[in-house]
Chain A
Amino acid sequence: MIQVEHLTKRYPGRTAVDDVSFSVGRGEVVGFLGPNGAGKSTTMRILTSYLPATAGRVTVAGHDVFADSLKARREIGYMPENVPLYDDFRVKEYLHFRARLKGLRGRDCRQRVGEVMDLCGLTDMRKKMIGTLSKGYRQRVGLADALVHRPQLLILDEPTNGLDPNQIRQVRELIRHLGEKHTILLSTHILTEVEATCGRVIIIDHGKIKASDTPEVLQQRLRTAGAIEFEARAPVDDVAAAVRALPQVRRVLSDPMEEGWHRFIVRVDTGSDPREEIAALIAAHGWPLREFIRKQASLEDVFVELTQNQ
C-alpha cells in the first residue's frame, strides 16, 4: 500500500528524514514511533504530498505521491497533527463539505456522512459548532473526515495527542476497529499506544529508521537485556560478590528492605539467561529467598535503548 524508497527530506541546515525506506502492506496497522522531532510528521506530510521530498520515491496504492498527487490523495485519509478544523462550521456541515470535496455526491454523500458520524460517535454532536467541541470530539471529527471518502489507507498523525485517558481508550478502540478493514499508518510517541493497536512498529529517530518489527519481536530482541530481580535475606556484599562472579552478569544493584531483607537487581548481558546459576548460588548459600523474577523489557525499554544509545 505504501512504498517508501530512500526518502530524504532536508530543510535548510537540518535533515529531517535521512534515507528512509519502508513499506506497508495492505491491511497492516503500522505504528510510527519516535521521540518528538524525529521526522514522523515530516514523513507523513510527504506521504500525503503536502511536502515534497528532497530525494527518494514514495508511492501510495501504486500512485507516485508527487507526479500523480491527486490520485494518491484520493486513496488517503489523513488526519494531521492537532487536527486543524474550521471552528465556524457545524460538525455535520463540515463533514458534508469535506465529503463533497473528496468526490462524494448526493444521497451517497449524505448517507456516508451519517455513517462516519455514527462510527465516530458524533451523531449527538452533529449540530454543534466545531469551535465549541472538546479536544476529544475534535479528534473524532478529524477521524471522521479522514474516513469519509472510504480511503484504503489512513494516515493518522498523533491521533491520541492531548486526550484524557478515557478519550485515549475510545480513540484506540476506534482505531483497532478500523484496522480490521483499513491499512493504517499512525504516529505516536506513546509506547503503550503502539502495543495496544499496531501489528508492526517502525521506530524512527533523527530521521533514520532504528527498528521495524512486531512489538513482540522487538521486545524479545531486548528481553535479555532486561534484569533478574530477587529478594533475599542476606548480607549485601556477599550476595553481590557471589552473583558478580558469574560471567553473564554485568551489574548488581541492591535496595535495603525491612529486617535484613534486600532487593537485588541483576543486569545481565544481551542474549544470556543466568537464572539457573543464580538460583543455584542462592540455594548453595542457604539464603532465605522470597521472590525471584525476570523483568521483561517493555517496548519502552526498547525505545529508550534504540533512541538514546546513539
Chain B
Amino acid sequence: MRIFLILLGKELRQFFLSPLAYVVILLFMLINGVSFYASISALTRSTSGANLVTWMFRTPWFYLSYFAVFPLITMRLLAEEQKLGTLETMMTAPVRAAQLILSKYVASVIFYIVLWLPSLANLYLFQYVTDGAADVPRGPLIGSYSMVLLMGLLYLAMGLFASSLTRNQIIAAILSLTLILLHYLVGFVAVYLSSARMLDLSEILTYIASVEHMALFTSGLVDTRPIVYYVTLAAFFLFLTHQVIEFRRWKT
C-alpha cells in the first residue's frame, strides 16, 4: 500500500506538472462549453420534456471531445516508461507490476475526474445566472455523471492496456482509440441489427452498448447491470495489462 501511494504520487505529479495535462483540460473545457451551449439552444427549441443534462450528453459535440480524451490521457503511461527504459529501473526496485499498473490507472482516473469537474461548474453557474429558472434535475445529473465515470473506468483501462503493448506513444494512442470506438460502435450495430430484424442478436448487443447505457443513465435511471459490466470489463483490461508487463518475465 505504501509503495502504491508513492507510485500514485509520482504519477499524479507527472500528470499535473506536465503542459499536456493543461492542454487537454483546456481543449476539453472548450468543447464542453460548446456542447453546453448547443444543449441549451437545443433545449430552447425542443418541445419535448427532456432536460438540460440529458441534452448535454446527446450533442455530437460531447462525443467528439469525449473519445479524444482517453488516448491523450493514457498513451504516455506505459509506452513512455518502456521507451525511456525506466520500466527497468522500476521493475528492478522492490515494486510489483500490479502496484505499478494500479497506480497508473488510479492516477489516470483521478485526472479524468478533474477533467470533468469544470463541466459540473458549467451547470451550476448556469443555474445561478438564470436565478434558478434553469432546472438542474438531480436524477439525470447523478445518472449521467456516474455513466461518464463508468465509461471512463473502462476506456482508461483500455488505453492503459494499449499503452503497455508498445513503446511508441502514437501507436498506443491509435490502438486505444480503435479499441474504444470499436466498443462504442457496437451500440450502432445493435441498432442496425434490430432494423434488419435480427432481434436476438440485437438484444444481446444492446446489453453491452454504451449508447444504450448512456440513454438510460441520463434519464436518471441508475441500473446496476451496466455498473457491474463496466467495472468487471475494466478489471479484465487491467489484468491483461498486468499480463503484458509480466510476460517479459515469462518469455524464455
Instruction: List chain A positions with a Cβ less than 8 A from chain B.
Output: 10, 45, 48-52, 54, 70, 73-74, 76, 78, 80, 82, 84-88, 97-98, 100-103, 145
Contact = CB atoms under 8 A, between A and B. Distances in A.
Nearest to A86: B86
A140 B249 CA distance: 29
Contacts of A70: 94, 96
Interface string B226-252: 000000000000000000000011111
B86 A84 contact: yes
A82 B85 contact: yes
Contact of B250 (A10, A52, A78): A52
B133 interface: no
A45 B88 contact: yes
Interface of B is mostly: helix
Interface of B: 3, 6-7, 9-10, 14, 17-18, 84-86, 88-89, 91-96, 248-252
A48 B86 CA distance: 14
A250 B86 CA distance: 53
Given A52-B252, A54-B252, A103 B94 contact: yes
Nearest to A98: B93
Given A51-B249, A52-B249, A97-B10, A76 B92 contact: yes
Given A52-B249, A88-B17, A88-B18, A80 B85 contact: yes
Contacts of B96: 70
B6 A100 contact: yes
Given A76-B92, A101-B3, 20 more contacts: A49-B92, A49-B249, A50-B248, A52-B251, A70-B94, A73-B92, A80-B88, A80-B92, A82-B85, A84-B85, A84-B86, A88-B14, A88-B18, A97-B6, A97-B9, A98-B89, A100-B6, A101-B95, A103-B94, A145-B89
B89 A10 contact: no
B93 A101 contact: yes
A48 B89 CA distance: 10
A10 B18 CA distance: 40
A84 B18 contact: no
A51 B91 CA distance: 10
B113 to A, nearest CB: 23
A85 B86 contact: yes
A73 B9 CA distance: 22
Nearest to A73: B94
B93 A73 contact: yes
Contacts, number: 62
6 contacts: A51-B248, A70-B96, A80-B88, A84-B89, A85-B86, A100-B6
Contact of A78 (B89, B248, B249, B251): B89
A49 B88 CA distance: 10
Give the most central of B17, B86, B88: most A CB within 10 Å: B88
A12 to B, nearest CB: 9
A171 B249 CA distance: 32
A85 B83 CA distance: 11
Contact of B6 (A45, A74, A101): A101
Top 6 A-B residue pairs of the complex, sorted by shortest distance between their CB atoms = A84-B85, A48-B92, A84-B86, A54-B252, A73-B94, A78-B92
A98 B96 CA distance: 14
Contacts of A48: 92
B167 to A, nearest CB: 12
A23 B53 CA distance: 69
A310 B216 CA distance: 73
Nearest to B18: A88
A287 to B, nearest CB: 61
Give the most central of B3, B10, B85, B92: most A CB within 10 Å: B92
Given A86-B84, A88-B18, A100-B6, A50 B91 contact: yes
A54 B250 CA distance: 9
A199 B191 CA distance: 74
A102 B94 contact: yes
A122 to B, nearest CB: 17
Contacts of A85: 84, 86, 89
Contacts of B7: 101
A173 to B, nearest CB: 24
B94 A50 contact: no
Contacts of A100: 6
Give the most central of B18, B94, B95, B250: most A CB within 10 Å: B94
Give the most central of B17, B86, B250, B252: most A CB within 10 Å: B252
